[in-house]
Amino acid sequence: MSAFLRNLMLLTATAAVFIPGAVHAQITMSATYYTIAESDQDTNHLAGGVFNNEVQSGLGPDGLPLLNTAAYGCTSNCFTNTPLPQDVTASGQLTWWSPSLNKGGAGGASDVVQTGTGTISLPYSNGSFYPSNGTGSNDANGFQSAVFSTVLDVPTAEAVSFNIGADDVAFVYLNGVNVCDLGGIHGDSPGTCTSGILNAGDNTLELFYADLEQTGAALTFSVNTAGITGAPPATGNAPEPATLCLFGLGLAGLRFVRRRQTK
């Protein structure tokens, strides 16, 4: 093998180390966006303040947060501030994220419309989280809600810490268990929360957000614990751009070697 070919193969093998801006660990989340109508029965009049007991520890049968009141099985630390949300199913699921289950409009019609999907990267911060899809300038034509989800890859059994802030509600669930309960109607209110010990490997993360009162809408979310990566299941195996670049460089080198050998 010539010295030129040896140098080319060495360059290909070590490119991942020396290419500026090489792939860094990151977390991406899928996003599903909804708009809640201005006329919805839960907008502009729910209890004000920051509450850490608005939802129960688990998700409901349709995968939605459960209102934490005595009517839905709460026996201690129940959410009692009034007026209470009314957009709930018979089992107590909050329907700000469900066009099919929401009955908050006139005559029991749905006041929730899905408007789009997308992907966000953490850390995420949006101080104007208005319709549509978190890109608007105000809430004069509806209130933004959204569900974000991903699968976290936790390298070792450990607790995971989050930064979260919202105007208004934001609920975080890990493997279906609530770890952040930022409830109530309030201005942008930051905070932190920490999970219990998670198993190493894949752990499902879901974030439910809803703005329910004029004015103001904001969402901030990040993972504080080092070494955690994550991607939605549908995109978890997609190669990163830098990985694709290296793959292409390697193929180019192989084609060059093949042409040399066939001459």
Burial 153-191 (b: 16+ CB within 10 A, else e): bbeeeeebbbbbbbbbbbbbbbeeebbbbbbbbbeebeb
Query: Parallel, antiparallel, or unpaired for β 143-154 and 27-36?
Result: antiparallel
- Taking phi first (over 0 means left), then psi (-120 to 50 degrees means alpha), and beta for anything else, what does residue 137 get? alpha
Given a contact cutoff of 8 angstroms between Cβ atoms, the answer to whether 210 and 129 are in contact is: no
| Span 52-65, pLDDT tens digits | 999 999 999 999 99
**Least reliable range by pLDDT among 76-80, 137-141, 171-175, 232-236:** 232-236
- The pLDDT of residue 1: 56
- The pLDDT of residue 103: 94
DSSP letters spanning the chain: --HHHHHHHHHHHHHHHHSTT-----EEEEEEEEEE-TT-TTSS-SPBS-BS-SEEEEE-TTS-EEE-SGGGT--SS----SSPP--B-TT-BB-TT-TTT---SGGG---EEEEEEEEEEESEEES---TTTT--S-STT-EEEEEEEEEEEESSSB--EEEEEEESEEEEEETTEEEEEEBSB-S-EEEEEE--PBPSEEEEEEEEEE--SSS--EEEEEE-STT-EEE-TTTTTPPPHHHHHHHHHHHHHHHHHHHHHH-
The domain limits of the chain are 23-236
The residue among 120 and 255 whose pLDDT is bigger is 120
- The pLDDT of residue 2: 58
What is the rounded average pLDDT of the residues 226-230? Answer: 97
Nearest to 146 by CA among 127, 130, 162, 163: 130
Given a contact cutoff of 8 angstroms between Cβ atoms, the answer to whether 120 and 101 are in contact is: no
**Least reliable range by pLDDT among 12-26, 76-90, 165-179, 189-203:** 12-26
Average pLDDT, the chain: 86
208: pLDDT strictly greater than 60 = yes
88: pLDDT strictly greater than 50 = yes
232: pLDDT strictly greater than 50 = yes
215: pLDDT strictly greater than 90 = no
